[in-house]
């Protein structure tokens, strides 16, 4: 077999794998990298790369309660037509449900912004993640939307004199816990 045929075969197989992967996950939820300092509030947007007719979302998220304190969550302009509930009764775990009668669509937009604060007594540099441990997305036709997940890092480093505060603006504290 000559080299040209081998290269063509390798390219074809690579493209086929890419297409199968993108078909398996039509959309991706992702959390961008965030940097913060002890005592700083910061915002983590839950981003979606592209979606059509999104009318329901359920997320279970885990964060390190020894490093971070959850402060509240707000919908974005794009998700303003959806109602939302954030259950934060168990520190370290967030259960988020969003729903609406009519689906929304768009590319590279936040579905929700979560506000956190780094605990003040953290020293040195720490790297943590907010993990999405469960995700379910649904269209307004009640069909599952397959979704991939990508969670990036939160880097916490002690303040250096003269440094500016965290680059991310804080989210206004909002009571989102369900009442019994």
For the chain, the domains span 27-157
CA dihedral 155, 159, 165, 170 (to 10 degrees): 50
Low-confidence ranges of the chain (pLDDT < 50): 3, 5-24, 160-163, 165-170, 172-180
What pLDDT is attached to residue 62? 97
Options 2.60.40.680, 3.40.50.300, 3.20.19.10, 2.70.70.10; CATH of 27-157 = 2.60.40.680
pTM over 0.75: no
- Render pLDDT for 102-139 as a digit per residue (tens, 0 to 9): 999 999 999 999 999 999 999 889 999 999 999 999 99
Quote the distance between the C-alpha of residue 6 and its chain's center.
40
């Amino acid at each position: 077999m000559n080299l040209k045929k081998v290269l063509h075969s390798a390219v074809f197989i690579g493209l086929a794998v890419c297409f199968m992967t993108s078909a398996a996950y039509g959309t991706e939820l992702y959390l961008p990298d965030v940097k913060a300092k002890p005592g700083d509030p910061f915002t983590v947007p839950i981003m979606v790369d592209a979606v059509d007719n999104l009318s329901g979302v359920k997320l279970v998220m885990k964060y390190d309660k020894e490093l971070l304190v959850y402060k509240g969550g707000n919908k974005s302009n794009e998700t303003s037509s959806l109602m939302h509930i954030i259950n934060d009764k168990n520190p370290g775990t967030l259960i988020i449900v969003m729903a609406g009668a009519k689906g929304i669509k768009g590319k590279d937009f936040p579905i929700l912004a979560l506000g956190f604060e780094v605990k003040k007594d953290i020293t040195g540099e720490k790297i943590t993640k907010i993990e999405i441990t469960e995700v379910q997305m649904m269209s307004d036709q009640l069909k599952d939307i397959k979704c991939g997940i990508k969670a990036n890092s939160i880097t916490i480093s002690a303040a250096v004199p003269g440094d500016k505060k965290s680059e991310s603006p804080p989210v206004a504290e909002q009571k989102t816990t369900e009442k019994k």
